[in-house]
Chain A
Amino acid sequence: MSAIFKRELKSYFSSPIGYVCVAAILFLYGLFYYMVMMNRVSDLIGNYVFGSMFSFGMMVIPIITMRSLSEDRKNKTDQALLTAPVSVTGIVWGKFLAAFGVYFIATTLALLPAIVIGFYASPSWGLIFGNYLGSLLYGAAMISIGVFLSSLTESQIIAAITTFGVSIILLMIDSLASSAGAFMAEVVSWISFQTRYSPFTTGIFDVSSIVFFLSVVAIFNFVTARRLESRRWS
């Protein structure tokens, strides 16, 4: 697993993809930090910066995950992975962690402006780290979905677009559900990333949300592993 993780993470940054994704995320973070600065209210960092970044993070993730497993299949390098003495689960987690690594780097670097602000003002650090943790968690969940979708196809474009579609559904699901009756709203609020993420934006470390996002990661990585396994039988 660690060999695959290292190789993948390195490969993200030996092609422009890694840099572009990190740069895009950092640029957007920078933009929102700038807006907060202009408003001179450091408390907004949590709600405003990270709240807005929820949508954008979800949009950049498909680009990070699109090549994850589809490229291997297309270039037949999956033959090396699947005939090596590593488990399918190890392969999937290696791939997942590498994609998450890119996202982790970007999100962690996005704390720099907050630290700079910290020299001149006193932002609410609990709020910022709550948001930081929340971002990592929903990012991880989205990445596991993206890695799964990239295991379904040989085409990076299809993987990116389907993952993108899932992001958009997840972003809109709350507003859609509210018009579909109380029961649906209840159900959707349970699976909605946005609802799960909102406690973090107020600095609350909601254990059920943490468990939720980690479960999504575990479930999708499990399904991806089964998917790779099932391809052998097709």
Chain B
Amino acid sequence: MIEVRNLTKRYGVNTALDHVSFSVEEGSIVGFLGPNGAGKSTTMNIVTGYLSASEGEVTVGGHSILEEPSEVKKMIGYLPEQPPLYMDMTVREYLDFMYKLKKVTLPKEKHIREICALVKITEVYDRLIANLSKGYKQRVGIAQALLGNPPVLILDEPTVGLDPKQIIEIRNLIKNLGKNHTVILSSHILPEVQAVCERVIVINRGKIVADGTPDQLGHDLTTDHRMIIRIEGPEREIAAGLKNVNNVTDVQILGEKEPGVFEYSVEGPEGKDIRRDLFAFCSRKGAPLLAMRSTDLTLEEVFLHLTDESYMNRVKTRKPVPKADETAKGGESA
């Protein structure tokens, strides 16, 4: 549905995007993840035709944004980072205007009513946009993007400024929309991406550093060198003992989980399996080892790992971390 090839955007000497390529299939929900200034908004602005790329190509539904901008723009509903609202209009007037601007052909009254009900702004329908709270403004922005039922929705941080209840509502809304729309949303809130998206593209400093499902990303970066273990016995003594075990670099006490049983997080050097050493320690100590599991990295940790420069350098120089196909590409070039 959306093809992005070698997208590069330079602002003077700064490179905001550096040869970014990805494609999004019809009907999938893709999350753009990255720290502030990573190039998420720039990518979205280029795909929607607001900005032009310095290099590279974008096609949406087979139409090139450069050659057939109107065709592409008709297919996209866009919610920019700051919703493009006219403060001097009421919600009704604004949606009316956007309806005409987008040359929507669906029955007007009914279509706008439906969208208002969907994003729950019916009760502020006749109020001036300037007087709405941030959450309502955001929702009017989403409503605007939904006008005309475009097959592609591009939402730049759609849940910013909403309260927790609204966030859940909007997430569910996006999930539902994902059933018959292609959705790209950006966020720096990880649980959000995890909850909503089928696929995550992590961008850092204008480059794609990872691409895969949320689970996959967590799993691929999982290493045997960090284990959570549960041992019965005196807390301090065992913790001190664990620190002296071969290859163990860090021990954290996670607290008492059962009476007299404590949980520890034990970390060894990267690429080193420490499970046997831990078992040997326990048997030597005569302390019953009740549980041992490796830690799947949470998306949060994956994100921090991927966007942390020093980590990327380590990855590059030491050993390739098994990741999804495109990730490896991104990793090498980083």
A positions within 8 Å CB-CB of B = 2-4, 6-7, 10-11, 14-15, 75-87, 232-234
Contact = CB atoms under 8 A, between A and B. Distances in A.
Contacts of B73: 83-85
Contacts of A82: 49-50
B52 A233 contact: yes
B50 to A, nearest CB: 5
Given A85-B70, A85-B103, A232-B51, A80 B98 contact: yes
Tell me which of A15, A82, A233 has the highest count of chain B C-beta atoms within 10 A of its own C-beta. A82
Interface in B65-121: 69-71, 73-74, 76, 78, 80, 82, 84-89, 93, 97-98, 100-103
Q: How large is the interface on B (under 10, 10 to 19, 20 to 34, 35 or more residues)?
A: 20 to 34
A15 B101 CA distance: 22
Contact of A84 (B80, B86, B101): B101
Nearest to A4: B101
Interface of B: 11, 45, 48-52, 69-71, 73-74, 76, 78, 80, 82, 84-89, 93, 97-98, 100-103, 144
B101 A80 contact: yes
Contacts, number: 71
A84 B75 CA distance: 10
B101 A86 contact: yes
B297 to A, nearest CB: 36
Nearest to B46: A232
A79 B49 contact: no
Contacts of A2: 100
Given A232-B50, A234-B11, A77 B101 contact: no
Contacts of B11: 234
B98 A87 contact: no
Given A77-B85, A232-B52, A83 B97 contact: no
A48 to B, nearest CB: 38
B288 to A, nearest CB: 62
Nearest to A234: B11
Contact of A79 (B69, B78, B88, B93): B78
A83 B85 CA distance: 14
B52 A85 contact: no
A6 to B, nearest CB: 8
Contacts of A85: 69-71, 73-74, 102-103
29 contacts: A2-B100, A3-B97, A7-B89, A10-B93, A11-B88, A11-B89, A15-B88, A75-B85, A75-B86, A76-B80, A76-B84, A77-B85, A79-B50, A79-B78, A79-B84, A80-B84, A80-B101, A81-B84, A81-B101, A83-B48, A83-B49, A83-B50, A83-B76, A84-B98, A84-B101, A85-B73, A87-B70, A232-B50, A233-B52
A6 B29 CA distance: 36
A2 B88 CA distance: 19
Contacts of A76: 80, 82, 84
A78 B45 CA distance: 12
Contacts of B70: 85-87
Contacts of A4: 101
Nearest to B154: A83
Contacts of A11: 86, 88-89
Contact of B87 (A7, A75, A78, A81): A75
Given A84-B73, A85-B103, A87-B70, A79 B80 contact: yes
